[in-house]
Amino acid sequence: MSGRSRWPWASPAPPPGTRGPSDRSRSRRPWPSRGRRLSSSLSVRTLAAQVFLLQALIMLLLVAVAAAALVVQGRYDAERSAEDRSLAAAEAFAHAPGTALALQSPHPTARLQAAADQAQKGSRVDFISVLDKHGIRLADTVPSLIGTKAEGVGRAAAGETFTETFHGEPTDAVRAVVPVTDASRRVIGMVTAGIQYANVSHLLNRQLPMLFGAAAGALVLATGGAALVSRRLLRQTHGLGPAEMTRMYEHHDAVLHAVREGVLILDGEGCVLLANDEAHRLLDLPQDADRRQVSELGLAPRLVRLLESQEPTTDEVIPAGDRLLAVNIRPTAPYGGAQGLVATLRDTTDLRALSGQAEVARGRLSFLYEAGMRIGTTLDVRRTAEELTEVAVPRMADFVTVELLDSVLHGQEPTSAVRQMRRTALRASRTGHPLQPVGDVIRFVMADTPMTSALRQGRAVLVPELHSAEDWRAQDPEGALQALDYGIRSLITVPLRARGVVLGMVNFWRGADSPRFEQEDVAVVEELVARAAVAIDNARRYSREHALAMTLQRNLLPLGLPEQGALEIASRYLPARSGVGGDWFDVIPLPGFRVALVVGDIVGHGLQAAVTMGRLRTAVLNFSSLDLAPDELLGHLDEMVTRLDTQGGPGDDDRVPLTGATCLYAIYDPVGGHCTLSRAGHLAPAVVDPQGRVSFPDLPLSPPLGVGGHPFEAGELDLPEGSRLVLFTDGLVENRGRDIDEGLELLSSAVGHADLTPEETCRALVDTMLPGHPSDDVALLVARTRLLAPSSVATWDVPFDAEAVSRVRREVSRRLADWGLEGVAFATELILSELLTNAIRYGAPPVRVRLLLGRTLVCEVSDGSNTSPRLRRAATTDEGGRGLFLVSQFADMWGTRYAPRGKVIWTEQNLDTASEPDPSALLGALGL
């Protein structure tokens, strides 16, 4: 359709006496009368005159702004041009081959002045100056300025090239300043070149007449154009007023054909004034919808009520046929129009579908994220399997079962025999289900079942409808029928795999009240099971390492307390919540009815800490067999720890170091109740006297083992009979919620009661100090002292004379008779005779003999010499060397220990099984 036919007032007049197409228009919109046309024409001319004046003012303003912009732009371009010319001239002169040499010469002015004048004339700049590095002019096109200092050149002296509009003496100018450097890039001078600011303005002033002439011409053209447009408007409108023009524009809907949203314009009574093409398509409107009530167009009742209510609405989603429309309604009256409304319609069907899919995907991601947070919170295999079922029911399935290999349940490596598993976890949304309970053995013997197929393929298998599937019934037809009767209808079975190895099987079931599983659910359950498999495998590996460490530690710790009569002992070992650690204790019987008590602590936890504890405990046992003093034993132990720590190789980065271990070693002597203690970085023991008073003795403290460079000291205690000695590691008194001082006070209150046995003391400490699982492992040793009766001790000081041996032997025989030990008198006299003879012959005074009667008979001979005897086999021609051999034959045990002054040779005879050696065998062994 041409432009002429679209505007009815531009149509040609019909011949007289005929009715043309425009007559219908005249009947709807009659042409104004002559009087009205005259008044309308006057009003239009007035409006045109006003429009013309307004356009002239706007054009004048635009031309003025454009002229000002051209002036500013011209000034800017002139300055930029001046800067470029000045920079080119300055850089050319500064980088000239002879400039640097001239600046470094004795008379730079003589060599540079002529060159500066020549360069200024050739580059069309107003001045060129050569400055030294301090800014003093050495050459200048104005000779009177030579020797003066230039201002504002500090940046060039620092090596920077720059241009600027300079205001100051000798004149305002656009200038460039370039540093001159020597071969080592050091600034030795500067070159400035520029154009005086008056000359830059002069160039612009010459352009102003042309600019203003162009602006005046543009204003004349614009004014003439506005006059022509106004005349054309008057001719085209035929005298129609503004109201008529606005109404014609309201009915013009060409632009609405391209709108992608449906548009409905209704009047105040619900009559359609305008419906664009998109509204016709979305609402399936008839062609004659204009001027009809919305209630007559067959629209959805909800949409009709919304349009007739005339109330503003925002994004109200309404179904219309098979579409979902977002409806927005706004009234037209507040915006200058007549009473009515404008409604826009947007098709959101596809958007709603995409939004639903996104919501489903978001829900699945949220579900998997929650599963990752809830599965694997413990390092227990069974609990992890239960957490998987708790997460999946009811959000993913109605029933979930988890079967694991027996090897996985026991913390062992999974085997390839996956045809038999044990049901480990089961969770159901309803009771009374027919699924096998936890603990049953599940066998996969039929090759066609979904479970067997999943194990063979290594991926999930979906059975969307169990009623129509036959293969899953082959394993247990009766059980399958019960499941179907119960209402189980859909299944996804997934192998539980980690590191490429099958750990078990997970089955997801849905009942009749839930939608059946779809293919989209398979990816979700596979991801869920994969995360659970990693957690179960981690728990399995931890269980294995924990079991190994517990087994090792149980074998390294004392299996029982040895028999001895000096102390009544009770002990406890409590592993930490995080696993086994390196705390240990030991009770070691020593000669002379003495007992050694040991408590130690290794830094760290786990298998390595248990191994380290075993190494230290073995070392303490070995050193104690030498019957060393506590401080000497810890000194040897410290040397061993230092030596072992320095022997680590490049592959031992994960080895737990021994350095930092603590140890307390105490020796108790029941003859007099004397106790000697030495500690390496360990807490002091608690001493409870028979009245229940608790004290922590101030014993010398040495650094932990392996630090080296510090001697070990020993402290001594005299313990009355019935005293309790409490040895412990720091895990008993210290944890995250309690400092060590509070722990020691709590320990004092727990053990500060008289007449508590060691076993009762241990129980009170555990109940008071460790109500739950301790955060650190704890070793506890409680010993109550006993004293050897004075009547069971006999002592003789022996003169350093061989004739005294017989006298002492007779007195020992009488004491043995008083004790009722005539049966061992001969052997004891022989042992005593040999030891006393050796002490007097080879030792040094003083010589002393002591007999101790307890479970066994102990005979001790001490002298002042540090020379230790040794057992050897004497030849048939030797006169001596058989004494210690006789002693070893008649005594059950014998040995030597060193005192602060001298040594003690001791023997021990068992009173229950005392027997004399065979004389013939003895003579044969002696070579007689």
Angle at 229 (CA atoms; ends 223, 231), nearest 5 degrees: 105
Flag whether pLDDT at 907 surpasses 70.
yes
pLDDT category at 615 given cuts 50, 70, 90 is confident
Please report the sign of the dihedral spanned by the C-alpha atoms of residue 801, residue 803, residue 804, residue 806: positive
- The answer to whether 398 and 510 have CB atoms below 8 angstroms apart is yes
In terms of pLDDT, which residue wins out, 797 or 710?
Answer: 797
Flag whether pLDDT at 596 surpasses 90.
yes
In whole angstroms, what is the distance from residue 669 CA to residue 786 CA?
9
Tokens representing 746 are 């709590």
Flag whether pLDDT at 696 surpasses 90.
yes
Q: What is the model's pLDDT at position 334?
A: 64
- The answer to whether 423 and 403 have CB atoms below 8 angstroms apart is yes
Q: What is the model's pLDDT at position 66?
A: 72
Mean pLDDT across the stretch 722-749? 89
In whole angstroms, what is the distance from residue 783 CA to residue 687 CA?
10
Flag whether pLDDT at 352 surpasses 70.
no
pLDDT category at 914 given cuts 50, 70, 90 is low
Q: What is the model's pLDDT at position 29?
A: 38
Q: What is the model's pLDDT at position 879?
A: 41
Q: What is the model's pLDDT at position 923?
A: 47
Mean pLDDT across the stretch 30-42? 42
Instruction: Say which residue the tokens 């009947």 belong to.
Output: 27
Tens-place pLDDT, residues 294-326: 887 778 888 888 888 878 888 788 787 777 788
- The answer to whether 403 and 504 have CB atoms below 8 angstroms apart is yes
3-state secondary structure of 879: coil
In terms of pLDDT, which residue wins out, 462 or 444?
Answer: 462
Flag whether pLDDT at 885 surpasses 50.
yes
pLDDT category at 679 given cuts 50, 70, 90 is very high
Q: What is the model's pLDDT at position 30?
A: 38
Task: Give DSSP secondary structure letters for 339-389.
Answer: SEEEEEEEE-HHHHHHHHHHHHHHHHHHHHHHHHHHTTSSS-HHHHHHHHH
How far CA 236 is from CA of 10, 229, 618, in Å, comes to 8, 10, 118
How far CA 808 is from CA of 73, 131, 891, in Å, comes to 131, 118, 19
pLDDT category at 745 given cuts 50, 70, 90 is very high
Q: What is the model's pLDDT at position 107?
A: 81
Tens-place pLDDT, residues 815-836: 989 998 888 888 888 888 888 8
Flag whether pLDDT at 875 surpasses 50.
no
Q: What is the model's pLDDT at position 296?
A: 79
Give the range among 58-72, 74-88, 516-530, 819-833 with minimum mean pLDDT.
58-72
Name the percent of the chain lying above pLDDT 70: 80
Tens-place pLDDT, residues 786-820: 999 999 999 999 898 888 888 988 998 999 899 98
Q: What is the model's pLDDT at position 667?
A: 96
pLDDT category at 895 given cuts 50, 70, 90 is confident
Q: 814-837 burial, b if ≥16 CB within 10 A, otherwise e?
A: eebeebebeebbebbbbbbbbbbe
pLDDT category at 916 given cuts 50, 70, 90 is low
Of 540-549, 579-588, 660-669, the range with the highest mean pLDDT is 660-669
Mean pLDDT across the stretch 168-191? 84
pLDDT category at 589 given cuts 50, 70, 90 is very high
Q: What is the model's pLDDT at position 399?
A: 92
Q: What is the model's pLDDT at position 284?
A: 80
Q: What is the model's pLDDT at position 13?
A: 40
Flag whether pLDDT at 40 surpasses 60.
no
Flag whether pLDDT at 486 surpasses 80.
yes
Flag whether pLDDT at 372 surpasses 50.
yes
Of 577-581, 770-774, 815-819, the range with the highest mean pLDDT is 815-819
3-state secondary structure of 580: coil
Mean pLDDT across the stretch 414-435? 86
Q: What is the model's pLDDT at position 715?
A: 94
Tens-place pLDDT, residues 619-653: 999 999 888 899 999 999 999 888 877 775 555 55
In whole angstroms, what is the distance from residue 206 CA to residue 475 CA?
106
Q: What is the model's pLDDT at position 698?
A: 92
The pTM of this model reads 0.52
Give the range among 254-263, 274-283, 736-745 with minimum mean pLDDT.
254-263
Q: What is the model's pLDDT at position 762?
A: 93
Q: What is the largest CA-CA distance in the chain?
A: 180
Q: Who's near 800: CB < 8 A, 6+ residues apart? A: 840, 844, 845, 846, 847
Q: What is the model's pLDDT at position 150?
A: 85
In whole angstroms, what is the distance from residue 70 CA to residue 656 CA?
82
Angle at 229 (CA atoms; ends 226, 230), nearest 5 degrees: 85
pLDDT category at 12 given cuts 50, 70, 90 is very low
Q: What is the mean pLDDT of the chain?
A: 79
Residue 193 CB burial class (10 angstroms; 0-12, 13-18, ≥19): buried
Would you give the DSSP letter of residue 659? T
- The answer to whether 476 and 382 have CB atoms below 8 angstroms apart is no
Residue type, 530: A
Tens-place pLDDT, residues 524-560: 888 889 889 998 888 888 777 767 766 666 666 777 7
Mean pLDDT across the stretch 579-594? 86
Residue type, 848: R
Tens-place pLDDT, residues 89-146: 888 888 887 788 888 888 888 788 888 888 877 777 888 888 888 888 888 888 888 8
In whole angstroms, what is the distance from residue 116 CA to residue 110 CA?
11
Flag whether pLDDT at 690 surpasses 90.
yes
Please report the sign of the dihedral spanned by the C-alpha atoms of residue 42, residue 48, residue 49, residue 50: positive
Mean pLDDT across the stretch 433-461? 85
Give the range among 217-221, 416-420, 706-710, 846-850 with minimum mean pLDDT.
217-221
- The answer to whether 234 and 44 have CB atoms below 8 angstroms apart is yes
Please report the sign of the dihedral spanned by the C-alpha atoms of residue 854, residue 859, residue 862, residue 868: negative
In terms of pLDDT, which residue wins out, 182 or 337?
Answer: 182
Mean pLDDT across the stretch 25-38? 39
Q: What is the model's pLDDT at position 401?
A: 93
In terms of pLDDT, which residue wins out, 528 or 30?
Answer: 528
Flag whether pLDDT at 52 surpasses 70.
no
